[in-house]
Amino acid sequence: MGAGKSAVGKLLAERLGMRFLDMDVQIEKTAKKKIKDIFADGGEPLFRRMERELVKCLSLLDGLVISTGGGIVLDAKNIKDLRKKGKIVYLKAKPEALFERVKKENNRPLLNVEDPLAELKRIYGKRRKLYADCDICVETAGKKPEEICAEIEKKIKAG
């Protein structure tokens, strides 16, 4: 969260002549409620089930740049399905940088705790090895979305 997936994803889709889809937005449309309300009603397990169902559908489509939530890696089936049609790109940033980007937002249910930075570090530590299993990794620190997109495009073309 806070890595720039939506901003970079929209720009990348435009540059590649593809459609952009933000999974969180799609889940909210389908559920007719905000992510924070999904978490409040059914907790993270409900959200992960909804996320999994959406991945199954999206993995059948072509021509998409998909912005997933950071927890998508928690289910290996998600990564396997998403790889069927494309590359997995990890926008890498340190927890402290991510925290600076999201600290004023109140729509991050996983950070609705007493010490959000400590929680972000805990989440990152738990997921770090899963994030490492990506096709393309781009460090985002100090880079504008345009620079990140250019780096992703270069890596895609390199194979």
CA–CA dist 50, 12 (Å, integer): 25
Tell me, what amino acid is at 25?
A: V
Per cent of the chain over pLDDT 70 is 97
The pLDDT of residue 52: 98
Percentage of the chain lying above the pLDDT 90 cut: 64
101 band by pLDDT with thresholds 50, 70 and 90: confident
Residue with the bigger pLDDT between 100 and 132: it is 132
What's the pLDDT score for residue 1?
A: 64
Q: What is the four-CA torsion angle of 55, 58, 63, 67, rounded to 10 degrees?
A: -40
pLDDT at 41 exceeding the cut of 70: yes
- Residues 49, 33, 13, 90, CA torsion sign: negative
> Which pLDDT score is estimated for 12?
97
The larger pLDDT score, comparing residue 97 to residue 27, is at 27
- Which are the contacts of 126, defined by CB distance < 8 A and separation ≥ 6? none
pLDDT at 81 over 80: yes
Q: Are 41 and 28 in contact (CB under 8 A)?
A: no
| Banded model confidence at residue 11, pLDDT cuts 50, 70, 90 | very high
* Burial call 57-76: b when 16+ CB within 10 Å, e when fewer: ebbeeeebbbbbbbbbbbbe
The DSSP string of 105-158 is -S--GGG-SS-HHHHHHHHHHHHHHHHHS-SEEEE-TT--HHHHHHHHHHHHHH
Q: Report whether CATH 3.40.50.720 matches the domain 5-158.
A: no
Residue 87 has pLDDT above 80, yes or no: yes
What's the pTM?
0.86
Residue 98 has a pLDDT of: 80
